[in-house]
């Protein structure tokens, strides 16, 4: 039986089972939908939101994930129910990482955002988040969630999301990813293709594990969606295993790696195409596919999963 392992992206999320159903409904909806259950494809979700957030989104908050309104989708991607404190960098490397990521999202400081001294979306000098015509209180939450989640993962921060539970963030999430892949390998009917479909920060997790964790099982294909892996500061965090000429996870991806992007998606806008940065022996192997999502907010997973090129690519990789 073919299998898809999903890996969710930045910020807080609904409970694991509900999140998996949201992804599957978005993939199956409308004309040309890909219904995994009907096609005999099993699926699972690598869920890590609870490592960084106290509680899942409530039923009321979960509704926003399948909304047709850009503001709702952006709220869902920005942990609207959580107030994140500022990150205290513990080293010069952490400070450089945080400042580098922030510069890819906005040229404004947090103080500028608070005082409203930010370029308007139609200003030619505006970048990434500044170009999105949504309120800054939403965009600021998205930025803070991205910076906090990425920082805690790459610098393996010790984090206590709830009293009595403390995690080394990267260690825990890596273990969950590897366990999910091992569970598929141990399944009774594991003869079909196994494809990992990752979104946003989930692409950083999938790549890190496939490239840098020795005990990680191989898969038959990888799809990255709205990925920030093109950002220099992110690539630096994957060294020494990563290099531009040898960034492809050789031996861990037995088939295709396809990267799906929207140029107006703020999370990947700085460098949406990955083929030139993740070569195998100096040769491009990764495939970049551009799509166009709807509305003002282009990062939402439900928008990407509705795109025909993504659906067709996944179906082909599953040999359907």
Answer yes or no: do 205 and 306 share one domain.
yes
pLDDT of residue 79: 72
More confident residue, 216 or 117: 216
Kindly give, in sequence order, each residue whose CB lies less than 8 Å from that of residue 238, ignoring residues fewer than 6 positions away.
207, 208, 211, 212, 247
Residue 247 clears pLDDT 80, i.e. is over it: yes
In a domain, 82, yes or no: yes
Report DSSP state, residue 216: P
pLDDT of residue 113: 86
CA 47 vs CA 50, 147, 231, 277: distances in Å: 8, 19, 24, 27
Distance separating alpha carbons of residues 173 and 51, to the nearest angstrom: 8
Report DSSP state, residue 57: P
pLDDT of residue 187: 76
Answer yes or no: do 154 and 173 share one domain.
no
β-partners of residue 194 are: 3
Answer yes or no: do 229 and 130 share one domain.
no
Answer yes or no: do 280 and 184 share one domain.
yes
Answer yes or no: do 259 and 279 share one domain.
yes
Query: Which of 160, 176, 198 represents a domain boundary (last residue)?
Result: 160
Answer yes or no: do 140 and 207 share one domain.
no
Give per-residue pLDDT as tens, 213-242: 999 999 999 999 999 999 999 999 999 999
Residue 314 clears pLDDT 70, i.e. is over it: yes
In a domain, 110, yes or no: yes
Give per-residue pLDDT as tens, 169-208: 999 999 999 999 999 877 767 788 999 999 999 999 999 9
CATH code (residue 273): 3.40.50.1820
> What is the number of domains present in the chain?
2
Give per-residue pLDDT as tens, 124-171: 989 999 999 999 989 999 999 999 999 999 999 999 999 999 999 999
Distance separating alpha carbons of residues 183 and 48, to the nearest angstrom: 17
In a domain, 293, yes or no: yes
Distance separating alpha carbons of residues 102 and 117, to the nearest angstrom: 16
pLDDT of residue 80: 57
More confident residue, 120 or 5: 5
Answer yes or no: do 23 and 133 share one domain.
no
Q: In this structure, how many other beta carbons lie within 10 angstroms of the beta carbon of residue 68?
A: 10
Report DSSP state, residue 280: B
Does residue 8 contact residue 48 with C-beta atoms inside 8 Å?
yes
Helix segments in the chain, DSSP class H:
16-28, 49-52, 59-62, 70-77, 92-105, 110-115, 136-154, 169-186, 201-212, 232-236, 301-304, 308-317
Name the percent of the chain lying above pLDDT 90: 84
In a domain, 244, yes or no: yes
Residue 81 clears pLDDT 80, i.e. is over it: no
Distance separating alpha carbons of residues 31 and 25, to the nearest angstrom: 13
Q: For 159, what's the count of Cα atoms within 13 Å in the CB-facing half-sphere?
A: 27
Answer yes or no: do 23 and 154 share one domain.
no
Query: Which of 115, 144, 160 represents a domain boundary (last residue)?
Result: 160
In a domain, 64, yes or no: no
- Could you give the 3-state DSSP secondary structure of residue 315? helix
Name the percent of the chain lying above pLDDT 70: 98
In a domain, 66, yes or no: no
Is the bond preceding residue 240 a cis peptide, omega within 30 degrees? yes
Query: Which of 123, 138, 160 represents a domain boundary (last residue)?
Result: 160
pLDDT of residue 206: 98
Answer yes or no: do 235 and 293 share one domain.
yes
Answer yes or no: do 210 and 300 share one domain.
yes
Mean of pLDDT over the chain: 93
More confident residue, 209 or 125: 209
pLDDT of residue 157: 96
Q: How is residue 72 written in tokens?
A: 């709702």
Determine whether 37 is exposed, middle or buried from the number of CB atoms within 10 Å of its CB (0-12, 13-18, 19+): exposed
In a domain, 276, yes or no: yes
List b or e across 208-218, with b for residues whose CB sees 16 or more CB atoms inside 10 angstroms. Answer: bbbbbbeebbe
β-partners of residue 169 are: none
In a domain, 277, yes or no: yes
Answer yes or no: do 148 and 179 share one domain.
no
Domain that holds residue 266: 3-59+167-317
Does residue 269 contact residue 146 with C-beta atoms inside 8 Å?
no
Answer yes or no: do 177 and 134 share one domain.
no
pLDDT of residue 188: 67
pLDDT of residue 110: 79
Give the pLDDT band of residue 82 (cuts 50, 70, 90). low
Shortest CA distance to 84 belongs to which of 103, 110, 108? 110
Q: Average the pLDDT over 44-61 and give the result.
A: 93
């Amino acid at each position: 039986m073919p299998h898809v392992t999903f890996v969710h992206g930045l910020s807080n999320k609904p409970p694991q089972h509900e999140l998996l159903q949201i992804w599957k409904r978005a993939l199956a909806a409308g004309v040309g939908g890909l219904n995994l259950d009907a096609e005999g494809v099993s699926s699972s979700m690598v869920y890590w939101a609870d490592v960084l957030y106290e509680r899942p989104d409530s039923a009321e908050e979960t509704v926003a994930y399948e909304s047709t309104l850009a503001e709702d989708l952006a709220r869902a991607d920005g942990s609207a129910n959580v107030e994140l404190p500022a990150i205290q960098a513990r080293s010069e490397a952490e400070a450089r990482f945080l400042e580098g990521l922030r510069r890819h999202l906005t040229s404004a400081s947090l103080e500028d955002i608070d005082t409203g001294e930010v370029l308007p979306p139609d200003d030619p000098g505006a970048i990434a988040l500044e170009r999105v015509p949504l309120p800054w209180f939403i965009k600021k939450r998205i930025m803070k969630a991205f910076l906090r989640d990425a920082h805690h993962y790459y610098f393996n921060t010790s984090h206590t999301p709830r009293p009595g539970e403390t995690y080394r963030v990267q260690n825990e999430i890596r273990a969950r990813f590897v366990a999910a892949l091992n569970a598929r390998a141990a399944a009774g009917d594991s003869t079909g293709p196994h494809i990992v479909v990752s979104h946003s920060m989930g692409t950083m997790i999938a790549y890190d594990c496939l490239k840098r964790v020795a005990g990680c099982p191989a898969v038959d294909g990888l799809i990255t969606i709205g990925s920030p892996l093109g950002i220099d500061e992110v690539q630096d965090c994957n060294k020494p295993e990563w290099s531009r000429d040898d960034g492809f996870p050789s031996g861990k991806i037995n088939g295709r790696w396809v990267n799906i992007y929207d140029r107006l998606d703020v999370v990947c806008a700085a460098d949406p195409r990955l083929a030139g940065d993740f070569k195998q022996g100096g040769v491009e192997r990764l495939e970049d596919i551009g799509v166009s999502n709807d509305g003002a907010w282009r990062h939402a997973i439900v928008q990407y999963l509705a795109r025909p090129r993504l659906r067709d690519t996944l179906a082909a990789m599953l040999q359907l």
